[in-house]
Structure formats: C-alpha cells, structure tokens
Structure 1
Amino acid sequence: MTIDMSAAYIKAVAEAAPNATIIFDRFHVQKLANEATDEVRRDEVREAEPEDKKALKNTRWQLLKSPWNLTDLEDKKLADLPKTNERIYRGYLLKETLVAILECSSIVIAEWKLDEWDAWASRSRLTPFVKLAKTIRRHRFLAKNFGDQFDRDTVDRIVRRGTDGWSITGMAVLGLLYDQHFTQVASLTLPEHFLTTGCSHVAFYCALREHCPQRSTYSFIGGPGDFRFGGLRFDFPDDWSGFANKMANQGPSAIIQWLVKDDA
C-alpha cells in the first residue's frame, strides 16, 4: 500500500491491513530531499561573504531542477558550484544521488545503494541531510512491515530523536511493535534501557505497555490511569477531547506528552 510518511497514515494502515506491505510515496521522499538541499543553500548564503553571496544568487531553482531541465547557463553555474561553495554542492549531489536511487528498478540494488547513501549523508556534516538520513532509516524499517528481525539498538534508533527526545513516528512504530510482537519486544528490557540512557518518557511508555500486556496501543485513549514509572506519572488533562484527538492522530507520543514528575 502506497502512503505518505505521516504517522497517522502508518497507524491507519497497520490497523486496517496488518499484513500489507507499506510503500512510501516517492514524491514525499524527494520533497524531503529538495527541502534539505534548499536548507543547506539558505544556511550557506546567510553565512557567506558578500562576494560569495553574489555568486550564489538565484541558485535555488537550479539546485532543485532535474538536470535535463537545466538551461546551458544554469548548467554552467552548477558546474562552477564546487568552487563557489563546496557544502552546497555536496548537498546537491546527495539530493541527486537519492533521486537516482529512487529511480532504480532493482530492489536489491536500490537497498544496497540506499545503505551507501545513508552512510554518506550521515557523515556529510550537513545537518539537514543527517536528519533526512535518520528519517529515511526510520521509515525503511516501517516499510519492511515491522518484520520480526529487530533488536534493542534498532528500536532505539527508530524511536530516539536527539539524546533525550523521541519522534512521533518512532513512537507510533514502538506502539505497533508492542501490538504485533509483544513477546519479543518485552524481552528487550526497553524500560530499563531508555531509563538508563536518559529517555525517561519513552521508558515510562514501555513500562506501561509491559504492565498491561493484554492492551493494544489505542486502548489507552482514555489515559493510562495512575500508573507510575521512572519518577513520572500521567497528568490527567482538563480537556479529554484534546488528548483523545492527539492520541488518535499521534498514538503513543500523546501519552508521553502528558507526563509530569511524580512527587508522590
């Protein structure tokens, strides 16, 4: 089933068609690559010397165009880009390489090349592409339909954002893993792992799920009750409809957004 990269769509497909293979729409992946390229360009132009800014003027659409749509003048300007600004050129190459991978007709070759691209983007020192690599890595895991080959480090990479944060999509994945592979996920000691690695909110959610093994992700739409873990508790919202809407759209991340320090 082809969908965009929204956590809400992922949740809907997983619930309605749990055996479906998820395919993320190429348009959305390429859009993220274009946005990363443009973010690199904006950052570099902002920091550039006046003379360099002049050389980089009007490069936005040239960087985002497909190579075969470039005019001769635009093509020449891009050819000079390695001398003008190496970081922007590196971002452009990352974008165009990803586009080429998306056009690959062989799944095996595409997987192999995407692994190489991931490694390149991750060490590119271009923050927008480092973030994009993490996003694609997370969604590749999703697209494999939550196969049973995963370990604690894999789950950590999918869920975590930064040192102590989490992603909405990553939390949606975690909820579905508990729904579909409870025994295996529960064996990974995730509550202790996330608690000791500084992600106590995620640790709370994992402990909650393992405390209530018979409940599915969206049975918590009424809140987790008075469950406490890791010095945290659920702060019952005044507006239950607001919480219910967030829970319906965001899944597990809604729960951890309502956690507060447990002073009891």
Structure 2
Amino acid sequence: MNYSSEVNAVVDWFGVTNFYTISDYIESQNVSKPSPMESLLACSMGTDCTDELVISASPALLVNGSEPPMLLMHGVNDTSVPPSQSQELADALSSNNSIFWHHEFADAEHGIGNPEWKTSEVVDLLSDFLEAVRDGTISSHEIQPEPSLATECLNDHSNLAMHIHPSLVIQIENTTYTIAADIGIDTDACPSAMHVAHTHSTSGKIHVETHEPANVTLGVFTEIWGIIFDETQFGPYQVNETHELVMMVDGVVSDDWGDHVFSDGESILIHYRERQ
C-alpha cells in the first residue's frame, strides 16, 4: 500500500491517561477487583505490575514533545474516568510545548451514548480541530472554547442587557404540546438560579435573559432542556423514510434549527410529521 502509517492527529474522548492515578481513583470508589486497568495490564497494581508496564500504558507519562496535535474532550460529570485524567495529559502536553486542544463539557458524563456528546458544540469542536490540522493552521498549545450560554446562570432579573419572550410549540403528528413549566430553573447546573433561557409556565413562552448582549439560540434552550435537536431529530423522534421534521418561525419554514437566534415575540413551531 502507498499510504503512510504516520499519525497526524489524535482525538481523545474521556480516556485514561495515567494508570497510577486512575488506579487510586478506582480504589477510592470501591470497585471490585480486578479493576479494568488491572485486567488490561494482566497484573495487580501495587504487587506485580512493574513501573515499566504501567508507564507504557500511561500517555500522560510518555509525552516528549513529538506528539501530533491532540484534541482532549471530557465530561465534567464523568464518574467512570474522572476529568482529571484529561487534565493530566493536557498538563504534560503543555509542559512539552505540544499542540493540543482541551475542553471539558458541562453536564456530560462518560460514554458517547450520552446526549451531551451529540450536541452541535461537540461536533463543531471536532470539525474545527480536524480542519485546522488538515489546513496546517493549528498552532495554539491550548484552546478553550467559550463556555456555552447553556451553562450560564442568573440569580435574579436585575441588570439585564436583554429580556425577550419568544414562544415555542411542539407538534408530534397531529398532537400539539406546550413546553413544560420551570425548564432551566433550579437545575444541577444552576441551583437556586435560572439559565439564560427558561420557562415559568406551560404557556410556551420562553424567557431569554442575559446580563451582556448575546445571541441566544434555540439550540441553547434545547440543551438546557436536555433535548437533542437538529435537522435529524427532536428528542426520540428521528427523521426517517416516512417522517420528517419541519421548523417554522412566524409561519415561515426555517432551516436554522438549533442555530436560530431568538427574537422577541416570535412564534416557533417544531413539527414531526409524516412526509408530505
């Protein structure tokens, strides 16, 4: 074959990077023996696992500055592999002047089956990284994307730069649903507070409030809501051979989907229906 086996980039999703520290973490969680790490190494930590073997399986301990660009992604709520594992690798890469991007995602847990790993934020970050590697424009040692508006919290309604009220209606087949009350209020991410987009009643009105001027999108609200939404699905309702997803803003079909920026007084309809 006329193809090189050279590795040009690495994408790491919530991976183990230091077998010493992950073993300490697993032990603290009272995981039954043998731990997954010991099963992989075929030895027992602290007894017959040699330092050479443990280090050979620990990327954070092998960094020497010759690494290709790396993208490290981890969920803040990962209890299987703690986010400190990615941070250890990021610290090692930084110390050796290696090129890497490191980003932790709020509310994300372990495993790509979780909805937090299917958001446009994740896809865009991955796409931007790979394009930068391909184009040869990647150069920063660490890039932290701006925190998502979905994770910003408001303690009250004072000192607002924006306070608007779009409305949202969901229609599944021939049944119309209004969105629930108290979405985005007193959540795990914003205890005793409000997200920048939230509801107070079942009227369908969304309260969009920010302390600084910002473009708050429908995708920000659905992320706060915990609903996967794009051109292919709304929650469990997926586009297929028989059904389609249509979005309308003030009666006009829109293909902005989650990128649609809220405006005051507008009416948004998301309709999952048989193909027409």
Shorter-chain TM-score above 0.5: no
Structure with a larger share of its residues in strand: 2
Greater relative contact order (Cα 8 A, min sep 6): structure 1 or 2? Answer: 1
TM-score, normalising length from structure 2?
A: 0.26
TM-score, normalising length from structure 1?
A: 0.26
